[in-house]
Amino acid sequence: MEYFNKYSSMGHQEFIGNYGYWHKAEPKRVALVYLLGLLKVTREHIRDIFDFENDEIKPVCLSYAWVTPLARRTIMLAFNLYTDWIPEEYPEDCTPSALFDNEKLREFLIEGVNIRYKKKIDG
């Protein structure tokens, strides 16, 4: 995917390759796939997080035992950029200071925001 400049790992890059076809060059979809591919745990549980067949987020996933605090924040940012969804639970995890507090992932999370708000994705 030539329009991605940053990958968190080889697993992230491979995930984009596997799920990238789905985005149809729509920025909100590209951002969702990009963000959900950042962490190994979200890649492993992608079908618990998003229903590709019905094009729907699955907020219930946030209550699953495998969801770490970092995964929760990454999922919530992906959901928010995709549907403007804000959870009733964990509102403290949706603040900018909470979402972007992880120095290791900050640049990738910001890249997801940049992808979402590009006028057009060239593919």
Segment 16-75, tens digit of pLDDT: 888 876 666 788 988 999 999 999 999 999 999 999 899 999 999 999 999 999 999 999
pLDDT at 95 exceeding the cut of 50: yes
Asked if 70 contacts 57 with a C-beta cutoff of 8 angstroms, the reply is no
In angstroms, the CA 99 to CA 102 distance is 8
Asked if 61 contacts 36 with a C-beta cutoff of 8 angstroms, the reply is no
- Mean per-residue pLDDT of the chain: 87
pLDDT at 2 exceeding the cut of 60: no
Residue showing tokens 């596997």: 18
Asked if 78 contacts 84 with a C-beta cutoff of 8 angstroms, the reply is no
pTM for this prediction:
0.87
Q: What is the pLDDT of residue 4?
A: 64
Compute the CA torsion angle 87, 90, 92, 96 (nearest 10 deg).
-50
pLDDT at 1 exceeding the cut of 70: no
What is the band of 88 on the pLDDT scale with cuts at 50, 70, 90? confident
